[in-house]
Amino acid sequence: MDLVPAPSGENPVKTPMVEVEAVDVAEQLNAEAVALEEVASEFGSDSDDSDGDDALSEDGEIIQFMRDDQLQDVPGACTLEEAMAYRKRLHDIGKAAFVEETLVRETVTAKKLCTAFGIKLPEFLDGAPDEAYHPLLAIAISREFSRRPKLSQYNTIDDAVKLLQEAKNIIVLTGAGISTSLGIPDFRSKDTGLYSKLAHLGLSDPQEVFDIHIFREDPRIFFSIAKDILPTEKKYSPTHGFIKLLQDKGKLLTNYTQNIDNIEANAGVRAEKMVQCHGSFATATCVKCNFKVPGDAIFDDIREGKVPECSACVESIATLKPQGLKRKRSSTGNQKDRKEFEDSSDEDDYEIPTPGVMKPDITFFGEDLPDEFGQRLVHHDRELADLVIVIGTSLKVAPVAEVPGILPRNVPQIYISRTPVSHTDFDIDLLGDSDVVVSELCRRAGWNLEHHMIPADEKVDITPVEGYESRHVFKVVGA
Ligand code: CNA
């Protein structure tokens, strides 16, 4: 991803929506074996465009990673404190200066330094000269350098509350998790997410439901599940209410939402405060003639699981006279479309055009995100943001998943969700139902977040996650 603002008019984040195989560090740290072919001899480069994985290939030797708590079991490894200090130093001074200060001046061996970046020392290098560890170290350094480092001064709930109170320009990045309490399934939650329910569609990968190529081939697949995401009434969750509260307090810079349910509007979040990164059901467009309608014009069809047809196409087809139609091809020609009108008396002789399908204006995998996403993020919000709150998303869909990494590294970032992510380092992780987390944060901030789903006498228990200074689990007492 281009981190340098593009010349004005160009969209720097004009990347089609894709599911990222986000490097799951948790899995890797569980001794995931990754392959190493050739490694970069690029110790001198400070460019931030390689994420370490670039130097990995399917072939070759094996690199394994270890968790920080395993450092103590490795003879000669850095202590956790040393490891943290090396990582911080790397981010402070850059790759070239870091290598100069360590390897070149021989203040530490490459072997020991590998452990600072989580490399599990491979047995095949036992007894090898220190230079043999350089390739591994190159990968480890590049990998660490491309990660946004956690800001060490933000850890506690009090820190989170203070950040909320003091911030003036908050970016809120949301995902499907903020709507699940309203009964709208997310994608990836085990057992309840949409992906877990799609086996019956015979797709090789559940995300194919939202694949533009498959939609063009057979829109029925998408419309068979679209009704599950379409909100039935104008309701919103306490988390949507929280975003509105930030707006009321003049603190909301932008809500970048990946959600397509348009529920933010129900809560009163103003259109100019929002970027619907993946579009929404609010409007729909004919795939054939581009005729646009308000989303609710096709909601009845969607709720019945029908494929909505374009009314403009239907009208123009109705005015066509048989003379205006092409003669149908012989039996060896194209197969007739199943949606041809059966009431046409000339059906046997003429090729009857079919109306286009109305596609809700949501971004499918393989389609570009709305221009506003990249433009606003890079050319406007990037400079202004003083706090980022990411809520209810697994951050697995690019380019939105890249947002935390694009913002200036000194801007604090808070993550609120049921499940932690490990491919991005947030400063504070607040785990649990987002409605519970935000209502407790508001309580502690002295803010009034009123919502019928928040019981007046709600008491929330917060427990730290062992081994993580900045990770906390929120649970309603008695729940
Ligand atoms: P996802 O990958 O399913 O992740 C959802 C995340 O939210 C997971 O980490 C869950 O653990 C977490 N979560 C679920 N419920 C809660 C809760 N009550 N409180 C806190 N955390 C919770 O979905 P993403 O949003 O990351 O993926 C982006 C996709 C999902 C976008 O393309 C959307 O268009 C798409 N989507 C949207 C909707 C919607 O508009 N409501 C529904 C389903 C999918």
Structure token pair of residue 412: 């604090």
Q: Is the CB–ligand 1 distance for residue 429 below 6 Å?
A: no
130 vs 243: CA distance, rounded Å: 53
463 vs 461: CA distance, rounded Å: 7
Q: Is the CB–ligand 1 distance for residue 360 below 6 Å?
A: no
Task: Write out the binding residues.
Answer: 286, 289, 310, 313
43 vs 55: CA distance, rounded Å: 13
50 vs 323: CA distance, rounded Å: 61
Q: Is the CB–ligand 1 distance for residue 259 below 6 Å?
A: yes
For residue 319, what is the enclosing H or E element? helix 311-319
* Distance of CA 279 from the midpoint of ligand 1 (Å): 15
For residue 245, what is the enclosing H or E element? helix 238-248
For 64, left (φ over 0), alpha (ψ -120 to 50), or beta?
beta
* Distance of CA 423 from the midpoint of ligand 1 (Å): 17
Q: For residue 197, give Cα distances in angstroms to 179, 200, 248, 343.
A: 17, 7, 38, 38
* Distance of CA 394 from the midpoint of ligand 1 (Å): 7
Can you give the pLDDT of all 479 residues of the chain as single tens digits? 332 233 333 444 556 666 654 333 223 322 222 333 333 333 334 443 333 332 232 333 446 777 777 889 999 999 988 998 999 899 889 899 999 999 999 999 999 999 999 888 988 889 999 999 998 899 888 878 878 889 999 999 999 999 999 999 999 999 999 999 999 988 888 778 887 777 677 776 777 888 899 899 999 989 988 888 887 788 999 999 999 999 999 999 999 999 999 999 999 999 999 999 999 898 999 999 999 999 999 999 999 989 999 999 999 888 876 655 565 554 333 444 434 333 444 445 556 688 999 999 999 988 888 888 989 999 999 999 999 999 999 888 878 888 888 899 899 999 999 998 866 789 999 999 999 999 999 999 999 999 999 999 999 999 999 888 999 999 999 87
Q: Is the CB–ligand 1 distance for residue 374 below 6 Å?
A: no
Q: Which residues of 406-427 are buried (b: 16+ CB within 10 A; e: fewer)?
A: bbeeebbbbbbbbebbebbbbb
Shortest-distance atom of ligand 1 to CA 184: 41
Q: Is the CB–ligand 1 distance for residue 397 below 6 Å?
A: yes
CB atoms under 10 Å from CB of 232, counted, come to 11
222 vs 208: CA distance, rounded Å: 9
Gap between the terminal Cα atoms of the chain: 43
Residues acting as catalytic residues = 278
What is the SS3 assignment for 324-373?
HCCECCCCCCCCCCCCCCCCCCCCCCECCCCCCEEEEEECCECCECCHHH
Task: Write out the binding residues for Zn(2+).
Answer: 286, 289, 310, 313
467 vs 116: CA distance, rounded Å: 17
